[in-house]
Amino acid sequence: MTDILLWIAASVAAVLAAVVLRDGLQLRRLIRWARQPIGTPVPDGGGRWGDAYAALHKRARAAAEQREQLHEALERFRQAAEAMPDGVVILGAQLSIEWANSQAEHQLGIDNGRDVGAPVINIVREPQFVAYLQGGDYATPCLLRSVRRAGLSLQVRAVPFGQGRLMLLVRDVTQLERLETMRRDFVANVSHELKTPLTVVSGFIDTLADGWADLSPEDTRHMLALAGEQAARMQRLIEDLLTLSALETDAPPQEEQISMAAVLADVREEAEVLSAGRHEILLVDSGPPGLLGNPRELRSAFGNLASNAVRYTPAGGRIEMLWQRESNGDATFTVADNGIGIEAQHIARLTERFYRVDRGRSRETGGTGLGLAIVKHVLERHGGRLQVESKPGEGSRFTARLPARRAVAA
């Protein structure tokens, strides 16, 4: 009996030892798994540990799904930030760079592979940028000029989020700055152009009002004639401004087939009237008889080229207008003169609004400073371009070149 009891006790002890050993092994596996990096698969287990392992597997799957969702959300954010036209930089503690999209890398010179973790003010050292970020007042953006290249203007806005983090939004405002400069220059130029004739007319009116009876008929006629000239000058300026404004709209030109013989005859007649017999004016018509385009716009462009030649060619000079077709099919209207010519440094700017090589001479001859700007816009709207060749003292050659598709044979 005693032997049986001992055997039973030994068997129970063995079973208990086996259970404890197995549980110890399972616990050891769990401890070893817990020490592995996050994402390590949960080991399989059964028996009394089955429920525990099943719960761990369930939690692991849920965690994996959450990580996948987080990864997808981060990837969507990254793709959205990369698609933005503006630069985006994420800053952490001490203004350290955590991430930047490719636009910001290009704008600010940041390298994601090299500069992550570095303070952004060590990369962009512009004093106003450093003061803006360190000042903590982000109500208004910071404007940076010539950060990476001359003429570049960047607007930087800091947006706080999270715990002491910042998102920088960087926008290239170079074109906006240029347009604003052009607007200011335009307003200043128009004001200046109108001020002189208005001053003259106002002065004549005051003179006539104060001493009408004391003026001789000749003086009165002279003043009225000068006032009329200044009024006509203002009218031409306003008309050119309206023409230029209409040309700069996005609306395509209304096109029709144009008889070039009629256009060329009008241009020549206008040039002869303006010349008043002071120049030899020739017209050579060997080009296509028709042209597809807007007749009013093209007549204005060709007329401006001819009138400029008359204004800047001294009396006794020669002006030649040529309408021809080039070997590549392009149609060209060229105005060549033997006038005063233009120095090379001025040629690139001739089509700017109100740009004048000689301001005094331009005003004396009745020019508004907008003629070549009108020519440029007309040609661009018709797919063409303006070419200029000139030498001081020898004369100038202006060519309006239109694509072959606009030439009409008959």
CATH number of 176-247: 1.10.287.130
pLDDT at residue 210 tops 60: yes
Residue ranges of E strands in 67-164: 87-91, 97-100, 142-145, 153-161
CA-based max dimension of the chain: 160
List the structure tokens of 299: 């007549």
Q: In what order do the strands lie in the sheet with 407-408?
A: 256-259, 290-293, 407-408
- Average pLDDT for 6-35: 54
The Cα 369–Cα 10 span in angstroms is 116
Q: Is 404 helix (H, G, I), strand (E, B) or coil?
A: helix
- Asked if 307 and 371 touch (Cβ cutoff 8 Å), the reply is yes
CATH class of the domain whose range is 256-408: alpha beta
pLDDT of amino acid 397: 93
pLDDT digits (tens, 9 = 90+) for 245-284: 777 776 677 788 999 999 999 999 999 988 889 999 999 9
In sequence order, what are the beta bridge partners of 100?
89
The Cα 410–Cα 408 span in angstroms is 6
- Domain coordinates of the chain in residue numbers? 2-78, 84-172, 176-247, 256-408
Categorize the per-residue pLDDT at 48 as very low, low, confident or very high, splitting at 50, 70 and 90: low
- Average pLDDT for 197-207: 76
The Cα 283–Cα 321 span in angstroms is 5
Encoded amino acid at 325, one letter: R
Half-sphere exposure of 51 (CA within 13 A, CB side): 1
pLDDT of amino acid 77: 62
61 CB-near residues (< 8 Å, 6+ apart): none
- Average pLDDT for 401-406: 92
- Asked if 317 and 339 touch (Cβ cutoff 8 Å), the reply is yes
CA-nearest of 184, 398, 390 to 307 is 398
pLDDT over 90 percentage in the chain: 20
Question: Is 84-172 a domain of CATH 3.20.20.70?
Answer: no
Mean pLDDT (the chain, rounded) = 79
- Average pLDDT for 224-236: 76
pLDDT digits (tens, 9 = 90+) for 322-378: 999 998 989 999 999 998 888 888 888 888 877 777 655 555 555 677 888 888 988
- Asked if 223 and 231 touch (Cβ cutoff 8 Å), the reply is no
pLDDT at residue 399 tops 90: yes
**Best-predicted range by mean pLDDT among 18-27, 42-51, 181-190, 373-382?**
373-382
pLDDT digits (tens, 9 = 90+) for 93-121: 888 988 888 888 888 888 888 888 899 88
